[in-house]
Amino acid sequence: MSSDPRERGGRGEAELLVALAVQLAWGADEALEETPRNRFGAPAELAASPVPPLSAVARDSALSFTALSPQAPRLAAPPIAGPVAQAERAAASADTLEALRELFAAFDGCALRETATNFVFADGVPGAPVMLVGEGPGAEEDREGLPFVGPSGRLLDRMLASIGLSRREGTVYITNVLPWRPPGNRSPTDTEIALCLPFLKRHIALAKPKLLVLAGGVPARALFGAREGITRLRGRWRMLEILPLVEPVPTLATLHPAYLLRNPGAKREAWTDLLLLRRRLDEVSPQVRQN
């Protein structure tokens, strides 16, 4: 083995460059740490109030996934502290969608805010009978500041149009679990989802949709606290309680358009879900006609 430090350094550098190339090929486009860091707060304070796991937050929040666990006893609520409590307080203080947008955009407890280009809140007409919740912005959404404007958004628009719905015509209102793009389009962590969940619940409560559609596993995981994959969760209506709404919201989980772009064979299942949506909409809002 050579003892020449330059040679050792050269080999080390080559290995690092190969490792970097692999990460780039996997889609990494930012140099970040594993866990989000609150760059505005005191580190000691943050360490003293860890974010609870998503399952605990969903279980003890205002949501219940009645179809999955109709008789499930309510467990004692764990203390929710730190940034999640901050998010809950901010979200609860919003009386209008505009106030919610401002409070969410100003919320600095989620590190995704530091790497995203734009805050992506919603598109379509608030008050539309159908509200669709996706996962989080991709590259194009991050650039434009609007949800579902990239390739999966174009497919989503075509899917909705096939049952006579459109965000432009006020029949669908669209948002995401996360308003900030995760770097390199990686999956969001449970912590990131837990931090954004209070805003999503308040968003639904203020938009008051007649029907809710969850596109993909992330919103289903966030709102139902469910661990099953989307292929098992999709295709059935479930009632989702969102306080302070008096009535639970009929909610349908379905496949994400990005998944359909990668797996065109799954469009059959997606079509079945779209028909379920159209049928239920005809029942609850017969005036929303299909052309």
Least Å distance between CB 218 and ligand URA? Answer: 7
Strand partners, 65: 240
**For ligand URA, the closer CB: 154 or 280:** 154
Structure tokens at 235: 């295709």
Instruction: Tell me the three state secondary structure of residue 6.
Output: helix
Least Å distance between CB 81 and ligand URA? Answer: 29
Least Å distance between CB 111 and ligand URA? Answer: 19
Structure tokens at 286: 């017969």
**Rounded CA gap, 40 and 111, in Å?**
10
Q: Which residue ranges make up the site for ligand URA (CB under 6 A)?
A: 134-138, 141, 147-148, 150, 152-153, 176, 216, 258
Of 163, 247, 243, 231, the C-alpha closest to 198 is 243
Q: Could you tell me which residues come within 8 angstroms of residue 274 by beta carbon, excluding any fewer than 6 positions away?
A: 159, 162, 163, 254
Least Å distance between CB 34 and ligand URA? Answer: 23
Of 184, 132, 181, the C-alpha closest to 159 is 132
Other C-beta atoms within 10 Å of 263: how many? 12
What is the distance of C-alpha 263 from the center of its chain? 21
**For ligand URA, the closer CB: 83 or 137:** 137
**For ligand URA, the closer CB: 36 or 138:** 138
Least Å distance between CB 149 and ligand URA? Answer: 7
**For ligand URA, the closer CB: 135 or 157:** 135
Give me the residue whose beta carbon is nearest to ligand URA.
Answer: 134
**For ligand URA, the closer CB: 88 or 123:** 123
Instruction: Tell me the three state secondary structure of residue 97.
Output: helix
